[in-house]
Amino acid sequence: MDILWAENTPLTAREVGRLIEDRDLAPTTVMTVLDRLARKGFLNRTRDGRAWRYQPAASRDAYVAELMLEALDLTGDRDAALTRFARAVSGSEAEILLKALTELEEE
């Protein structure tokens, strides 16, 4: 996913495999992982000749926001979890949250 987010263009399994620097993976292994991610909805794929091109179904920011919402669903007390989260962020992060909430109220 990191490679596809960084490249910001649809890539084939072979292209993704070439960009994975820390492992020597067979193209079929990379293709299997990409196909599984596509079936789970994390990637979109389009045909390009005999190959598939893969790209993220959502931005990294959208994916992380979804993870945060899923984590909130795990708690029995969303208010307490949100309060603890708000107290844990830095001052500049709190300002960003406050700005986003203010903009939502103005809509």
pLDDT in tens, 3-24: 999 998 999 999 999 999 777 8
Which pLDDT value is given to residue 21?
A: 77
pTM reported for the whole predicted model: 0.76
Cα separations in angstroms, 20 against 34, 73, 104? 13, 34, 40
Are the C-beta atoms of residues 20 and 10 closer than 8 Å to each other? no
Are the C-beta atoms of residues 27 and 13 closer than 8 Å to each other? yes
Closest CA to 46 of 15, 14, 20, 11: 11
CA separation for the pair 45, 52 (Å, rounded): 6
List beta partners, residue 16. Answer: none
pLDDT (tens digit, 9 = 90+) per residue, 30-72? Answer: 999 999 999 999 999 999 999 999 999 999 999 999 999 999 9
